[in-house]
């Protein structure tokens, strides 16, 4: 195969060199691989332009045959109140029901004819609407991204569920609200509620038009000017939404149902905000704990100590260390799925893994975690859609796209002492939040779990 790809003409090769990533170039040139440093240095530039109304346009031209274009907005369930909780999620699903210019059937036919993929998501602080399509269809996206939304509200009625961990960890605060909203709101939301929500939060300075792949930045800016220049950047009176501080509460919530085959349990402490300098050491710490699933190979030879214990003692079906970061706080935790008779043991060893991070983590552990984190950051940007999502969220969170080379330098600066100090700051002798669903009778009493958050030592 190497011989066949080497026959690409020099003219084509020079053209590719302007746009392709080093990894793709290595395949074109018949090389087996490129170094990690080369892949970082060859990452395309992210270009950023601001319109007069404050809307930002950001893109990364990679030369792919496809492109992803979307709108990222600083709006989510944290900006909602008890009355309109679920409005953002409701609006997200309305996007697929068509507009005045393109009713649902026409919209579906247009998207299908372009060979495109239309999607959206709502989180606690962000909302995104995006489309992936062929490069040649980029110009046709102009009419699809408009601020017009009109559809039948009854189509969106449905049952919703609560995010239990956030509900107990941030109880009494907007961050504890579910993205879906309560079922009563899904039945009672009116057009006026949704229009008020849009007028309050869909403002140009809180929006980013992001694109990645086979895109031209100037053309994207033109698309933004023709479709979004009319979006207001002004608020009426004192209506500027300001996020209130969210208080973390150590607590637990249990929904016992012995009819479930497995127990789903999450334990978390308050983590770092998305802009905190502690975020990278905590990411390294989570990579040291790692993840596990029954489908993994390796068994007793897995690099994660907790994963090896899970295999040897049959502790769980799966587990995942996670860190959810928000503008001013976060949740760092471990989520696991296990048999009802293994809950206590899995909880014990999960908290034991946290204590090891605070006390006995070694340089070799940290080196392994750093390498895993670097591989994860690169691997997550595999395709135009995750790259576009990364651009949109970075511009909203940081005001710029943080390049991989900068992440790499921050990861390299982490040492075992840094991990111990930062993990002690966030984990050691802290009150955890715990959420459990299913046959959870064996879950320890909260006071026992709290007492396992420190070690008595000389």
Overall size of the chain counted in residues: 458
- Residue 286's nearest CA partner among 437, 429, 411 is 411
Is the alpha carbon torsion for 287, 289, 291, 296 positive or negative?
positive
Using CA atoms in the order 28, 31, 32, 34, what is the torsion angle rounded to 10 degrees?
-90
Cβ–Cβ under 8 Å, residues 156 and 186: yes
Cα–Cα distance between 161 and 296 in angstroms, integer? 30
- Residue 171's nearest CA partner among 271, 248, 253 is 248
Beta strand 66-73 pairing with 117-122: unpaired
- Residue 358's nearest CA partner among 452, 248, 247 is 452
Bridge partners, residue 134, by sequence = 66
Cβ–Cβ under 8 Å, residues 170 and 247: yes
Instruction: Kindly state the tokens that stand for 239.
Output: 């209506």
Location of structure tokens 């004819």: 113
Neighbours of 393 (CB within 10 A): 19
Asked about 125 being catalytic, the answer comes back as no
Active-site residue, selected from the candidate residues 60, 80, 92, 270: 92
Neighbours of 406 (CB within 10 A): 12
Cα–Cα distance between 131 and 114 in angstroms, integer? 11
Neighbours of 149 (CB within 10 A): 16
Which residues are known catalytic residues?
92
């Amino acid at each position: 195969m190497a011989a066949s790809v080497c026959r690409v003409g020099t003219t084509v090769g020079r053209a590719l060199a302007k746009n392709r990533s080093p990894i793709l170039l290595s395949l074109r040139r018949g090389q087996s691989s490129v170094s990690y440093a080369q892949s970082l240095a060859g990452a395309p530039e992210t270009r950023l332009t601001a319109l007069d109304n404050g809307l930002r346009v950001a893109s990364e031209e990679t030369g792919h045959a496809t492109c992803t274009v979307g709108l990222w907005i600083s709006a989510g369930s944290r900006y909602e109140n008890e009355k309109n909780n679920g409005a953002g999620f409701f609006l997200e699903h309305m996007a697929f029901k068509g507009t005045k210019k393109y009713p649902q059937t026409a919209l579906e036919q247009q998207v299908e004819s372009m060979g495109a993929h239309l999607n959206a998501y709502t989180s606690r602080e962000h909302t995104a609407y995006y489309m992936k399509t062929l490069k040649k269809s980029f110009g046709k996206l102009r009419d699809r991204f408009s601020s017009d939304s009109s559809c039948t509200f009854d189509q969106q009625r449905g049952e919703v569920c609560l995010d239990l961990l956030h509900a107990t960890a941030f109880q009494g605060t907007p961050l504890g609200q579910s993205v879906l909203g309560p079922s009563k709101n899904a039945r009672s939301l009116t057009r006026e509620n949704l229009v008020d929500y849009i007028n309050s939060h869909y403002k140009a300075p809180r929006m980013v038009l992001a694109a990645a792949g086979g895109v031209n930045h100037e053309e994207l800016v033109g698309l933004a000017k023709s479709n979004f220049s009319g979006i207001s950047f002004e608020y009426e009176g004192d209506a500027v939404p300001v996020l209130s501080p969210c208080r973390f509460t150590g607590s637990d919530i249990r929904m016992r149902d012995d009819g479930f085959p497995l127990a789903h349990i999450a334990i978390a402490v308050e983590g770092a905000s998305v802009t905190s300098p502690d975020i990278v050491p905590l990411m390294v710490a989570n990579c040291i704990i790692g993840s596990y699933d029954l489908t993994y190979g390796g068994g007793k030879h897995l690099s994660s100590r907790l994963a090896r214990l899970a295999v040897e003692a049959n502790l769980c079906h799966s587990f995942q260390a996670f860190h959810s970061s928000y503008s001013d706080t976060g949740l760092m935790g471990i989520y696991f799925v296990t048999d009802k008779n293994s809950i206590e043991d899995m909880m014990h060893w999960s908290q034991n893994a946290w204590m090891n991070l605070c006390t006995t983590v070694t340089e070799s552990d940290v080196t392994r975690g750093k390498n895993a984190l670097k591989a994860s950051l690169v691997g997550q940007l595999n395709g135009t859609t995750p790259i576009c999502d990364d651009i949109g969220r970075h511009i909203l969170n940081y005001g710029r796209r943080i390049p991989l080379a900068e992440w790499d330098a921050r990861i390299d600066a982490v040492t075992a002492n840094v991990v111990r100090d930062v993990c002690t700051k966030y984990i050691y002798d802290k009150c955890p939040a715990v959420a459990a669903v299913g046959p959870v009778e064996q879950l320890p009493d909260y006071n026992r779990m709290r007492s396992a958050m420190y070690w008595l030592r000389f």
